[in-house]
Chains A and B, each alone.
Chain A
Amino acid sequence: ETGVTQTPRHLVMGMTNKKSLKCEQHLGHNAMYWYKQSAKKPLELMFVYSLEERVENNSVPSRFSPECPNSSHLFLHLHTLQPEDSALYLCASSQGTGGDLISEAFFGQGTRLTVV
């Protein structure tokens, strides 16, 4: 248990569905992240939120829409996905955003997404 909880653990959705992934961290961190993990690219940063503001969007298609309502929760809203979006989606959190305030990133167990 890392203090970062992701739900659901597994999700199968059709290309016309809308679903959301949820991430919750109990570590008091001020930054949260979404990563995509697939056979093609093992760990790919998608979004960064710092103090609930999105500070980075790594050219992610608009069919992925993140939301960070507070520093403990992060969502990834999914709509009209493609089969190639099937992957493990990992949430992470850390404390500090620069200088000597770097702390390790804690990852959740991920949501295994299959788009059919």
Chain B
Amino acid sequence: GENVEQHPSTLSVQEGDSAVIKCTYSDSASNYFPWYKQELGKGPQLIIDIRSNVGEKKDQRIAVTLNKTAKHFSLHITETQPEDSAVYFCAASPSNAGKSTFGDGTTLTVKP
């Protein structure tokens, strides 16, 4: 089955700096890669996703890159703000978004 590894497990940055979270996956059949943000007391919420036919996608301060050959994808958050502090999960799915295999999460802390 799919195996997703996520690094780092914790990340602390100063407000305004950039944050990068990296994931690798094992199943070459995976073609959908969502990123979720989970705030305390809430369920994960999708912040951006990318499909295998695209190498990069951007949405305001958030961008995701995908390298299918190397089987890795990354989340980039620029101009971080304290409200970006949360746990971020990457995931990989061969077909069904709900059947995604998740990474172990990265706890991001943005210091004001």
Contacts and interface: CB of A to CB of B under 8 A. Distances in A.
Interface residues on A, range: 20 to 34
A49 to B, nearest CB: 9
B97 A109 contact: no
B102 A43 contact: yes
Nearest to B34: A104
Contacts, number: 69
B18 interface: no
Nearest to B1: A58
Given A104-B49, A107-B43, A33 B95 contact: no
Interface string B45-66: 1100101000000000000000
Interface of B: 32, 34, 36, 41-46, 49, 51, 87, 89, 91, 93, 95-105
